Chains A and B, each alone.
Chain A
Amino acid sequence: MNVPSFEFLGFATVVAALINISNAAPWRRSILLLANIGFVLTFTHSPLQLVPFGGLLVLGYAGMKLVEVHKNKAVFIVLLAALIFLFCLLKQYTFVPHALFLQIVYFTVGMSYVFFRVLHLVIDAYQDALPDRVGLLSYANYTLNFTSLVSGPIQLYPDYLRTESVQPAALDQAAVGRALERIVAGFFKVSVLSPLLFYAQTVVVHALTPHLSPAQRVVDGALVLSIFPVYVYINFSGYMDFVIGTARFLRLELPENFNRPFIATSFIEFWGRWHMTLSNWLKTYVYSPLLLSLMRRFPSRSAEPYLGVFVYFVTFFLIGLWHGRTSMFVVFGVLLGLGVSVNKLHQILLTQLLGAARYRALRANSFYAAASRGLTFWWFAFAMLWFWSSWVQLAEFARILGAPAVLLATGLVLSSAALLLTGLKYLEESWLTLTGAGSPLASRYVRAAWCTTLAVVVVSVAVILNAPSAHIVYKAF
């Protein structure tokens, strides 16, 4: 079953109706479990296809229980290694010997997101950091929660537990209104805006030929670079709007995954606004433990900032690797790692050079902030080339455009992004002021009319296109 789709909405409506019959935790958990199993089964032709995925879940649960009782470091490390290896094997990473791959068709939807949840439970169980013993039912519902199975967000267990059983989120009139708005906005982004952007991207890529004029090469090169990141943002954040809104009807609260990423004025800040649940997970379970461990091993105050630079690189390199199995994603990881580590190094050096107060004043300078915003977008867009294209395509782009057009296109993206994204930031802030409490634009009638319009557009597009629901970029992970 695709998410988002009208089919999914119908399914979620039935589950919401059943789950809200009673507030009793056992009832809610049981209905959710049935819904989760039912949802997973829609992706398979035979229950046998679920066995490998089930193996990962069973190993995670048994491992969590084992380290909860026996705080043995060696057992913990072996378990972590086994989970990571099993994940890489099932996801068929290219560095795993091909002969080890399972020669059967099996279920992998949302496996990466489930893997993060399982790993977090095992680590927290070992560190005695879980709020309570994790029951089998809660474990199954947490890892397989159908509202966030396909592409996240990656919720941590204590947050999930709070709304699943301890304190379900209230579902009053205001909450229903907000949830409906999120669903409609998400559907609109995924079904209308993102296909348009994808179409634009496809047209521009296909239009790249050696016969273009030099000026057209620069413009098309800039468009090839810039459209895809915007498309991914609209597509993925729309999906998030949709599932966050849907989950609210089950009285579950999912964490936000995006916070206006393109207004960020540094690559590090960008990752605090983009796919935030993944960034936070890696910050908690990779960046922090690794940096603390290095600080303990090399206790030098002057070396600490450079250890930070190194660990930033490692963490974001891993983010890149997580995204895919091929050499393209190794380069993607290197570029992400370079982005954050050079950004951190720049911060350290400028602070040393100017002093904290003058560096703070520089960051507050509008021109510097706009230029930083443009640079951040450009680097992200550049790194994303290795996310969506192939080596053959990249070579073709380079051959058609030529070095001068590539350089000029880079300049065009940098300057346009600085200008447009700064304009967008001020527009957004003005819009927030205009739609604040007490404003006529914030009235429920205006919002209902706006949502209805978006819903009509979504339904119309669905009827006209008469095609399967929109593709979610992150479903592949």
Chain B
Amino acid sequence: MSLDAIYQKLTQILQNVFDDDSLVARPDLTADQVDGWDSFAHLRLIFAVEKAFGVNFAASQIASLQNVGDLATLINSKVA
């Protein structure tokens, strides 16, 4: 799967999880920039990503994500 396709799918997931149609997945997007992105919302996002991409993340991988770019790279490494 290409990175572009991953970002497209991530955009849909972000919009769905945060109930905000204006959200667009981009590499530098961080939790601070999205209202309501706390540790609970982070896990809802991870859960949605795991379901959508058919992957599983390790505990420390989830904790080390700094931005959407890190998430996309991690997904890419799992689906490649």
Listed in ascending order, the chain A residues whose CB lies under 8 Å from chain B are 120, 123-124, 127-129, 156, 158, 268, 280, 283-285, 287-289, 291-292, 295-296, 304-305, 308, 312, 344, 351, 356, 360
Contact = CB atoms under 8 A, between A and B. Distances in A.
A288 B59 contact: yes
Contact of A123 (B39, B40, B44, B59): B59
Interface in B25-45: 35-36, 38-40, 43-44
A283 B46 CA distance: 14
B63 A283 contact: yes
A359 B4 CA distance: 35
B60 A292 contact: no
Given A127-B59, A283-B63, A292 B47 contact: yes
Interface of B: 19, 35-36, 38-40, 43-44, 46-47, 50, 58-63
Contacts of A296: 47
B33 to A, nearest CB: 14
Contact of A356 (B35, B40, B43, B47): B35
Q: Tell me what chain B mostly uses at the interface: helix, strand, loop, or mixed.
A: helix
Nearest to A304: B44
Contact of B58 (A129, A268, A295): A129
Contacts of B35: 356, 360
A304 B19 CA distance: 15
B62 to A, nearest CB: 5
B47 A283 contact: no
Contacts, number: 55
Given A129-B60, A295-B43, 8 more contacts: A124-B59, A124-B60, A127-B61, A284-B63, A289-B59, A292-B46, A296-B47, A308-B43
A446 B12 CA distance: 53
Q: Which 10 A-B residue pairs are closest in the complex by CB-CB distance?
A: A127-B58, A129-B58, A284-B63, A308-B40, A129-B60, A295-B47, A284-B59, A291-B43, A124-B60, A288-B62
Contact of B40 (A156, A289, A344): A344
A364 to B, nearest CB: 11
Given A280-B63, A284-B63, A288-B63, A124 B58 contact: yes
Nearest to B50: A292
B23 to A, nearest CB: 13
A455 to B, nearest CB: 38
Most buried by B among A120, A123, A284, A344: A284
Q: Tell me what chain A mostly uses at the interface: helix, strand, loop, or mixed.
A: helix
Contact of B60 (A156, A295, A308, A356): A156
A36 B49 CA distance: 43
Contacts of B46: 288, 292
B43 A127 contact: no
Nearest to A360: B35
Nearest to A269: B38
Nearest to B60: A129
Nearest to A344: B40
A129 B40 contact: no
Contacts of B39: 283, 287-288
Most buried by A among B19, B43, B50: B43
Given A356-B35, A356-B36, A360-B35, A285 B59 contact: yes
Nearest to B47: A295
A200 B77 CA distance: 57
A291 B47 CA distance: 9
Nearest to A281: B63
Contacts of B19: 356
Most buried by A among B19, B40, B61: B40
Contacts of B61: 127, 129
A360 B35 CA distance: 8
Contacts of A283: 39, 63
A289 B44 CA distance: 12
A284 B40 contact: no
Contacts of B44: 295, 304
Most buried by B among A129, A158, A287, A296: A129
13 contacts: A124-B59, A127-B59, A127-B60, A127-B61, A268-B38, A283-B39, A283-B63, A284-B63, A288-B63, A289-B59, A291-B43, A292-B50, A344-B40
Nearest to B19: A356
Given A305-B40, A308-B40, A356-B36, A129 B59 contact: yes
Contacts of A360: 35
Nearest to A129: B58
Nearest to A295: B47
A158 B47 CA distance: 25
